[in-house]
Amino acid sequence: MAYDPDVAITLWPEYFDKGLTRAQGRRLPKDLCVAKPDLDMIAKGAMLLDLEYEVREDMSYPKAPREKHGCVKVEKGKLSKTEILPRIGQVLVENQGRRSPC
């Protein structure tokens, strides 16, 4: 299935943020999360899973509407959201030390 923005799966950085609680939006266990994940690393995870994706920097997580952290939208079809999240979390954990300093 090709990328269709209307039915794409939305991946928010909050899903992978080790500093957040589940009530605040974290979706994975802390061992699959990193501190302050960025959109580039989430997009890299989608690329490694061979998924078509789009980075949307103008979006804000619904639980924090004033903070525009953006999101990554990935194609729906090859994998379900519950399969995608831990795989991308693993990519983030493996690459957390390789991020460029801000």
Domains, the chain, in order of start with CATH, read 9-98 (3.30.56.30)
pLDDT band at 1 (very low <50, low <70, confident <90, very high): low
What is the per-residue pLDDT for 44? 92
Q: What is the pLDDT of residue 102?
A: 44
pLDDT for res 18:
95
- pTM for this model (two decimals): 0.87
Please determine, for residue 101, whether its predicted confidence score (pLDDT) is greater than 60: no
**Residue among 15, 11, 22, 21 nearest 80 (CA):** 11
Tens of pLDDT along 21-78? 999 999 999 999 999 999 999 999 999 989 999 999 999 988 888 888 899 999 988 7
Distance CA 78, CA 53 (A): 13
CA distance 84 to 93: 14
Q: How confident is the model at residue 97 (pLDDT cuts 50, 70, 90)?
A: low
